[in-house]
Structure 1
Amino acid sequence: MRKTIGIGVAGAGAIGIRGALSHLSLQDVKDYGVRLAAICDPVPGRAKAAAEKFGVTAYYESYEELLQDPNVDIVTLCTPIGLHYKQGVQAIEAGKHVHFNKTMTTRVEEADDIIRRAAENNIRVVASPGMMLRPENRKKRKLILEGELGQLGWAIAGTARGTVAFHFEEEFRTGENILTSVNPEWYFKKPGGGPMYDITSYMLHELTGILGPVQRVTALSGQAVPEVFYQGKRIAKEMDDSTILMLDFGSCLYAVVYTTIAGEITGWSPNIYGTHGALIGSKFGDTELKDPALTQPHVKGEHAHMREAHVFADIMQLVDWVRDGTPSIVTAEHARHVVDIIESGYRAAETGQTQQLCTTFEPLPLEQL
Structure 2
Amino acid sequence: MKIRNIVTGLFAFAIVVTSGVISNADAQIAVKGETVYTVSGSAIQDGVVLVRDGKIEAVGSADDVDIPGDYDVHEAKIVTPGLIDARTVVGLAGYYNQDHDQDQLETSNAVQPELRAIDSYNAREFLVNFLMKEGITTIHTGHGPGAVISGQTMIAKTSGQTVEESLVDSSTTLAVTFGPSVERNFDSPGTRAKAVAVLRQDLIKAQDYAEKRAAGEDQSRDLKMEALADLLDGKITALMSAHTSHDIMTALRIQREFGFPMMLEGASEAYLVLDEIKEADIPVIIHPLMIRPYGESKNASMETPAKLKKAGIPFAFQSGYEGYVPKTRVAKFEAAIAAANELGFDNTLYALTLGAAEILGIDERVGSLEEGKDADIVLFDGDPFEYVTHVEGVIINGEVVYEGE
TM-score, scaled to structure 2: 0.26
Tell me which protein shows more helix as a share of its residues.
1
TM-score w.r.t. the length of structure 1 is: 0.28
